């Protein structure tokens, strides 16, 4: 039996608009633009017969699936798909110092040092471990259509784990607010059908 997994990033927050780094410790709601985005997403996909909806444990993710919960679709809050911890970068404007710490981390991850992290933050290894656990559970579930809302870096890791790609492949996957990745799983292989799709916003 084939199943489809619709995975999308949360709507915009003020931190997104102001180009500030969020991460796991920044638990803010969507802004007006973000609510507009998730409402458009709902109107576009409300007729898909989702059997279950997953979100992270952060407000911006829970709010992004609120309209689907109104349809009485079972909702599971799963901290395994929460955003990565950016350590000392969290809550900071993306200035030169913050971006340099971020670039060093990305460079280390690309070079295979997956245990590296921004001071006080989470490593690629830690993120991979919790995302892999989530992916294995999703593959075993019986629902044929699954909706998942998560965060930018967690989404990138989800894509690589579903496609069995190396951690270094994360950087090639973009993630707009409410951008959606559609996967199909036939019990053996996962196929990517849509990538960062924002048709619902047009």
* Catalytic positions: 10, 83
Q: Which residues have a Cβ under 8 Å from the Cβ of 122 and sit 6 or more positions away?
A: 24, 84, 85, 86, 87
Q: Which letter, b or e, does each residue of 87-121 get, where b requires 16 or more Cβ atoms within 10 Å of its Cβ?
A: bebbebeeeeebeebeeebeebbbeeebebbbeeb
Question: How far is CA 6 from each of CA 53, 103, 189, rounded to the nearest angstrom?
Answer: 10, 30, 16
| Element spanning 76, H or E | strand 75-77
């Amino acid at each position: 039996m084939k199943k489809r997994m619709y995975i999308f990033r949360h709507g915009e927050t003020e931190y997104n608009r102001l180009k500030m780094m969020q991460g796991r410790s920044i638990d803010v709601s969507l802004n007006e633009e973000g609510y507009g985005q998730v409402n458009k997403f709902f109107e576009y996909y409300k007729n898909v017969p989702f059997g279950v909806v997953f979100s992270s444990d952060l407000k911006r993710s829970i709010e992004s699936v609120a309209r689907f919960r109104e349809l009485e679709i079972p909702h599971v809050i799963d901290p395994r798909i929460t955003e990565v911890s950016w350590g000392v970068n969290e809550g900071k404007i993306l200035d030169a110092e913050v971006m340099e710490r971020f670039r060093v981390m990305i460079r280390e991850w690309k070079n295979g040092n997956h245990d590296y992290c921004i001071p006080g933050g989470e490593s690629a290894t830690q993120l991979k471990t919790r995302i892999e656990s989530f992916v294995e559970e999703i593959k075993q579930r019986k629902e044929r259509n699954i909706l998942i809302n998560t965060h930018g870096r967690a989404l990138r890791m989800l894509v690589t784990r579903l496609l069995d790609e190396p951690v270094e492949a994360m950087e090639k996957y973009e993630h707009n607010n409410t951008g959606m990745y559609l996967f199909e799983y036939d019990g053996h292989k996962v196929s990517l059908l849509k990538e960062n799709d924002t048709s619902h916003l047009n």
